[in-house]
Amino acid sequence: MRRSGSRTAPPEPSPEGTPVAEPWEELKRLLTEGRRDEIVPFLASLATGETARAVNRLDDEERHALLTMIQPEEAAGLLDALPDLEAAGMIEDLSAREAAAIVEEMPSDHQADLLGDLEDREAQAILDHMAPPRATTVRRLLGYESETAGGLMIAEYLAYPDSGTIGDVVEDLRAHGELYSGYNVQYAFVVAADGRLAGVLRVRDLLLSPAHTVLRNIMLPDPLRVPDSAPLDGLKRFFDEHPLFGVPVVDPDDRLVGIVRRAAVEEALRHRATRTFLAMSGLVGEEELRTMPLRARSFRRLSWLSLNIVLNVIAASVIALYQDTLSAVVALTVFLPIISDMSGCSGSQAVAVSIRELTLGLIRPYEFMRVVVKEGAVGILNGVILGILLGALAYAWKQNIYLSLVVAAALSINTVVAVLVGGLIPLLLKRLKLDPALASGPILTTVTDMCGFFFVLSFATVMLGRLT
Amino acid sequence: MRRSGSRTAPPEPSPEGTPVAEPWEELKRLLTEGRRDEIVPFLASLATGETARAVNRLDDEERHALLTMIQPEEAAGLLDALPDLEAAGMIEDLSAREAAAIVEEMPSDHQADLLGDLEDREAQAILDHMAPPRATTVRRLLGYESETAGGLMIAEYLAYPDSGTIGDVVEDLRAHGELYSGYNVQYAFVVAADGRLAGVLRVRDLLLSPAHTVLRNIMLPDPLRVPDSAPLDGLKRFFDEHPLFGVPVVDPDDRLVGIVRRAAVEEALRHRATRTFLAMSGLVGEEELRTMPLRARSFRRLSWLSLNIVLNVIAASVIALYQDTLSAVVALTVFLPIISDMSGCSGSQAVAVSIRELTLGLIRPYEFMRVVVKEGAVGILNGVILGILLGALAYAWKQNIYLSLVVAAALSINTVVAVLVGGLIPLLLKRLKLDPALASGPILTTVTDMCGFFFVLSFATVMLGRLT
């Protein structure tokens, strides 16, 4: 276990770039030969990422065999190492009874996450096969919004009545030690008779206090807590400020309902960052893995591409209005995509600065004027420089000063438009309670394309006599 | 301190969208009126994000006044709440002696981060004004790469010789309680005579063992540790696997040299994610805030834009080769930007899926064939669908079936090219040890633009007789 930092690094491929044998080939072999005793030790021998990759390469039948050949407890651990959608897909291919046996072995927050990823009907069938108290707990967790304290909490925690004694607690811990060891619990809480969170116990108190001490008299009263509706960003700030591994969650009546672990908040933040990255790249909805069926992958991508083609046609329709100018000065066609793309880049930079300043809290969504002043200045400076650059290139190519002026002016002005639009869109989207990272790109591109095409072609139309 | 989740939410603007008085106006007033006693309580009364925003709006003179009017300890806390570059800028505006007094009050990892952001000469001047032992420590920390255990660790930790006793430790803790309380330390380590990390002490042992117990006999031997060269990803995996708030860092001779705190790793991961987001948006290097001088902001953005104009000119030069075709069929100009942008989007989706699969470890950088097969299938399906869509639009506009065929075929084929290139670039960059998230976009756009223009215009040239 020493030097874990380097220990868990994935194995380097051999010098030619191709390793000798891929782990999934070995796993397939073990599965087809039915060597169930060797599967778990083999999976345990793989580096962190390799398990997911090996399972990823199995076909549906092999995955089914894998989950049913190993113990439910081991299957639960294996699913935990896989991407969410892949784990959900594997559970769906099992019978409800087989699935329930595996789900029972997970912590309650993972149970809720996994069942939340399934179709309602399938989730219900699995819940019906689970032990009733656990099923009730999971149903309760499924009722919360996913990115809130309620949606992230676990239902496994230690809580004792404030009228109990240290002796009661120590006895309970001894009696259920094995069960509790799976809870990964760091704190024990004290609740009042009506379920309200009253205090927290220190390890030191459990060790050093006489057995007859009443919990109410020794607990740290009024511990930190978060409401079950607390949003993810609030939880992030909470754990930034407090070096704790978990925080109790209370309902509106201040009753203890669960614990949010720091790790769950970190994981949810990573998920959100991934969703943003994928959406910015044109992958809307849940993530895509290349193991998914072709139709599903194609359909998800097309949902964004078909919206994009509409936006593109709108922007390009500006060009259609100036066909006469273009047929007179066909050299302009070279500059249309350059001006559209350059302005898009300038605008993206402004979008990124605005999103960053919104995230850091350096700007509020109503401060439009500040963005106009700050971006306007950069836009004019960069626009003039880029315009001169492109104008010089145009002159070098065609030796027509008027053509140079047209493209230089169009790029300069459109750069100003692009940074203003790019800087303001995130503020506007934020005011409309939309995610700036997701929607800014397409709006920006459509506007800068339309304006860019319009500036080049309308200026050229005015100067038409000088250009031909 | 209760319900921190909701407590720290920023105040809502008033219904008209503009709050009555901005916090920075109040702060400016306190500074100009020289009411130094009211400044710290006022800053403490602001919500988390508001402090940064209020300071952000001060001019250089006001910022200087702010840092010198409050105690160095409070100034250190204030700088901690600001974006890194802004904190560095404020320190630069102070005299080396004033700056050193404030830097002295920071934990050693923040000292190193801050001084690392300054010009070498200024950092040296500040170090010269610091107490020699602290300066030596910071110089040592500055010697490490920033995203390694050495670069992230703090030099404040508790370590005792293995020949010492529990009594020695307890006495030391009592004598230096106040100093150590600032360490935010959760563990005490035991080192051998040669400085090698030998063990860790449990709180329980300190409380319950007789004073004459020798540490060597009671410590947990051979604790988890990471080498000072451990990379950020290795540290992330370490803390994912171990519920610890910190891990000891050892040099190649296994000597204890510092502690990496979990919070430092989380912060470094957030910084890296931010850098990626900014670079993907065309902001290379460090982040930009709108308070920076115009010239700096303009220059940073131009560094990427001027590379981009070169890439654009290369791509658009394909259009220049087909001026005759374009002047014969000017309607084609409408389709050039549509095909270029649509292919770019299809390619971005494939880039995102590849980056995601690389991150999850589901694919290795040498598995080119897998990407070709999987992306090829999606590319053909989506390419055909999008081609038919665009072809139909073209027919509706010009009623020329050959024009429709040209644009449909060009978009279909270029979609396949785009998803293949987009899917493969991240793998290729990864093999070249470059960051796929940063460089994939520009390469992809240039290739898909060139190919897109080439397909439309070369197909049109072949069909020229039918198009006019």
Q: What is the mean pLDDT of residues B273-302?
A: 84
Residues B159, B152: Cα–Cα separation, whole Å = 19
Find the CB nearest A289 among B48, B297, B357.
B357
Q: Confidence class of residue A14 from pLDDT cuts 50, 70 and 90?
A: very low
DSSP string across B77-126: HHHHTS-HHHHHHHHHTS-HHHHHHHHTTS-HHHHHHHHHTS-HHHHHHH
* Exposed e or buried b per residue across B422-458, where buried means at least 16 C-beta atoms within 10 angstroms of its C-beta: bbbbbbbbbeeeeebbebbbbbbbbbbbbbbbbbbbb
| CATH code assigned at B422 | 1.10.357.20
Interface ipTM: 0.84
Confidence (pLDDT) at A16: 45
Predicted confidence at residue A2, as pLDDT, reads: 40
Q: Rounded distance, CA B81 to CA B201, Å?
A: 33
Q: Are A234 and B6 within 8 A, CB to CB? A: yes
Owner of token pair 């930092």: A5
Using a CB-CB cut-off of 8 Å, the residues of chain B touching A302 are 382, 385-386
Name the band, by pLDDT with cuts 50, 70 and 90, for residue B15.
very low
Residue with the two structure tokens 């107490």? B131
> Nearest CB to A6: which of B5, B234, B445?
B234
A122 and A51 share one domain: yes
Q: What local confidence, expressed as pLDDT, does residue B468 receive? A: 79
Same domain? A419 vs A447: yes
C-alpha A210/C-alpha B8 separation (Å) is 40
Residue given tokens 């593109």 in the structure block: A312
Q: What residues of B are in contact with residue A226 (Cβ under 8 Å)?
A: 3-6
Instruction: Tell me the pLDDT band of B210, cut-offs 50, 70 and 90.
Output: confident
State residue A280's pLDDT score. Answer: 85
Window from A2-11, B12-21, B59-68, B406-415 with minimum mean pLDDT: A2-11
Out of B245, B261, B277, pick the residue that ends a domain: B261
Q: Is the domain of B122 the same as that of B195?
A: no
What is the rounded average pLDDT of the residues B407-435? 95
The proportion of chain A whose per-residue pLDDT surpasses 70, expressed as a percent, equals 92
Answer with the residue of higher pLDDT: A422 or A437.
A422
Q: Is the CB of A337 less than 8 angstroms away from the CB of B449?
A: yes
CA distance A430 to A259: 31
Question: What secondary structure letter does DSSP report for A154?
Answer: B
Same-domain status, B129 and B177:
no
- Nearest chain B alpha carbon to A299: B382
Contact residues on chain B for A227, CB-CB shorter than 8 A: 3, 5-6
Instruction: Examine the pLDDT at B5 and tell me if it is beyond 50.
Output: no
> Which band of pLDDT confidence, cut at 50, 70 and 90, is reported for residue A20?
low
- A288: in domain: no
Q: What number of residues does chain A have? A: 468
pLDDT tens digits for range A450-459: 999 999 999 9
Whether B233 and B172 share a structural domain: yes
Three-class DSSP category at B158? strand
CATH of residue A106 = 1.25.60.10
Contacts of A331 (CB under 8 A, 6+ apart): A397, A398, A403, B320, B323
Shared-domain flag, residues B124 and B251: no
Number of folded domains in chain B? 3
- Closest partner CB to A378 (pick from B53, B56, B297): B297
B284 lies in a domain? no
Name the residue in chain A with its Cα closest to that of B324. A330
Where a domain ends, among A280, A305, A334?
A280
pLDDT band at B184 (very low <50, low <70, confident <90, very high): low
Nearest Cα of chain A lies from the Cα of B170 at a distance, in angstroms, of 16
What's the average model confidence in pLDDT over A375-391?
Answer: 96
Confidence of residue A204 (pLDDT cuts 50, 70, 90): low
Query: Based on the domain organization, do A47 and A113 belong to the same domain?
Result: yes
Neighbours of A203 (CB within 10 A): 13
Could you tell me the CATH number of the domain that includes residue B257?
3.10.580.10
State the average pLDDT over residues B352-368.
90
Mutate to test the interface with A, among B281, B307, B354 (most CBs of A within 10 A): B281
- pLDDT tens column, A332-371: 999 999 999 999 999 999 999 999 899 888 899 999 999 9
Q: How many CB pairs under 8 A join A and B?
A: 335
Q: What single-letter amino acid sits at A390?
A: L
What letter would DSSP give residue A426?
A: H
Interface test with B, best of A338, A449, A453 (most B CBs within 10 A): A338
Domain boundary among B113, B147, B181: B147
Asked if B305 and A382 come within 8 Å (Cβ–Cβ), the reply is yes
What pLDDT sits at residue B392?
A: 96
Top mean-pLDDT range of A25-29, A245-249, A388-392, B433-437: A388-392
Q: Which two tokens stand for residue B151?
A: 């670069």
Q: How many CB atoms lie within 10 A of CB A285?
A: 12
Of A282, A330, A335, the CB nearest to B345: A282
Q: What are the DSSP calls for B324-382, one per residue?
A: HHHHH-TTHHHHHHHHHHHHHHHHHHHHHHHHHHHHHTSS-TT-HHHHHHHHHHHHHHH
Q: Kindly list the residues from chain A whose CB atom is less than 8 angstroms away from the CB atom of residue B237.
A: 4-5, 8, 48
Cβ contact B4:A224 at 8 Å: yes
Cβ distance B278 to A226 less than 8 Å, yes or no, reads no
Give the gap in angstroms from C-alpha A130 to the nearest C-alpha of chain B: 29
- Segment of A235-249, B305-319, B446-460 carrying the highest mean pLDDT: B446-460
Interatomic CA distance for residues A179 and A186, integer angstroms: 14
**Average pLDDT of the residues in A134-146:** 91
Give pLDDT tens digits for B230-284.
999 999 989 888 878 889 999 999 999 999 998 899 889 988 888 888 888 888 7
Assign B186 a pLDDT band (cuts: 50, 70, 90): low
Global confidence as pTM: 0.83
* pLDDT given for residue B3 in this prediction: 39
Is the pLDDT confidence value at B104 over 60? yes
Evaluate whether residue B294 is within a structural domain.
Answer: no
Q: What number is the average pLDDT over the span A12-39?
A: 74
CA A385 to chain B, closest CA, distance in angstroms equals 9
Q: Do A386 and B305 touch (CB under 8 A)?
A: yes
Interface test with chain A among B186, B265, B277, B367, by most A beta carbons within 10 Å = B277
In a domain, A50, yes or no: yes
Q: In B, which residues are within 8 Å of A355 by CB distance? A: 277
Same domain, B163 and B48: no
Do B215 and B76 sit in the same domain of this protein? no
Asked whether residue B440 carries a pLDDT value surpassing 70, the answer given is yes
User: Among partner residues A312, A333, A356, which is closest to B326 by beta-carbon distance?
Assistant: A333
**Cβ-count burial A430-464 (b if 16+ within 10 Å, e if not):** beeeebbbebbbbbbbbbbbbbbbbbbbbbbbebe
Q: Is the pLDDT of residue A9 over 50?
A: no
Tens-digit pLDDT profile for residues B113-171: 999 889 889 999 999 999 998 899 999 999 999 899 999 999 888 899 999 998 898 88
Average pLDDT, chain B: 88
Phi, psi of A247 (to 5 degrees): -140, 140
Same domain, B56 and B163: no
Q: What is the mean pLDDT of residues A244-273?
A: 91
For A275-294, how does the pLDDT look when each residue is reduced to its tens digit (9 = 90+)?
Answer: 888 888 888 766 788 888 88
Asked if B68 and B187 sit in the same domain, the reply is no
Question: SS3 for A289?
Answer: coil
Q: Select from B2, B204, B254, B351 the residue whose CB has the most chain A CBs within 10 Å, as the one to mutate to test that interface.
A: B2
In angstroms, how far is CA A166 from the centroid of its own chain? 43
What band does A185 get if pLDDT is binned at 50, 70 and 90?
A: low
What gap in Å lies between CA B192 and CA B255, rounded to an integer?
A: 9
Share of chain B above pLDDT 90, in %: 56
Cα B425 from chain centre: 22
Q: Are residues A112 and A178 in the same domain?
A: no
Q: For residue B10, what pLDDT band results from cuts at 50, 70 and 90?
A: very low
8 A C-beta contact, residue A258 and residue A155: yes
- Minimal-distance CA residue of chain A relative to B297: A378
Q: Say if the Cβ atoms of B230 and A331 lie within 8 Å.
A: no
Give the best residue of B203, B239, B309, B467 to mutate against chain A (max A CB count within 10 A): B309
> Per the domain annotation, does A151 fall within a domain?
no
Q: Mean pLDDT over all residues of chain A?
A: 88
How far is residue B338's CA from residue B333's CA, in Å, rounded to a whole number?
Answer: 9
Choose among A222, A227, A316: nearest Cβ to B337. A316
B164 part of a folded domain: yes
Locate all alpha helices (DSSP H) within A161-293, ordered by sequence.
Answer: 166-175, 177-181, 203-208, 215-218, 232-241, 262-280
**pLDDT at residue B369 above 90?**
yes
- Whole-number Å distance between alpha carbons of A76 and A154: 16
Which residues in chain B are closer than 8 Å to A151, comparing Cβ atoms? none
The C-alpha torsion from A193 through A197 and A203 to A207, rounded to 10°, is -20
Q: Is the pLDDT of residue A7 over 80?
A: no
Q: What's at B237, amino acid-wise? A: R
Q: Are β-strands B246-250 and A220-221 bridged in parallel, bridged antiparallel, or unpaired? A: unpaired
CA distance B374 to chain A (A): 7
C-beta atoms of A274 and B49 within 8 A? no
Q: Is residue B106 part of a domain?
A: yes
Residue A26, pLDDT above cutoff 70? yes
Lowest model confidence (mean pLDDT) among A81-95, B9-23, B24-38, B51-65 = B9-23
Return phi, psi of residue A228, to 5°: -65, -15
Between the alpha carbon of residue B236 and those of residues A272, B106, B149, the distances in Å are 18, 24, 11
For a pLDDT cut of 70, what percent of chain B falls above it? 92
Q: Is residue B235 part of a domain?
A: yes
3-state secondary structure A101-147: HHHCCCCHHHHHHHHHHCCHHHHHHHHHCCCHHHHHHHHHHHCCCCC
Q: Domain residues for A272?
A: 158-280
Give me the residue from B237, B245, B360 closest to A52, CB to CB: B360
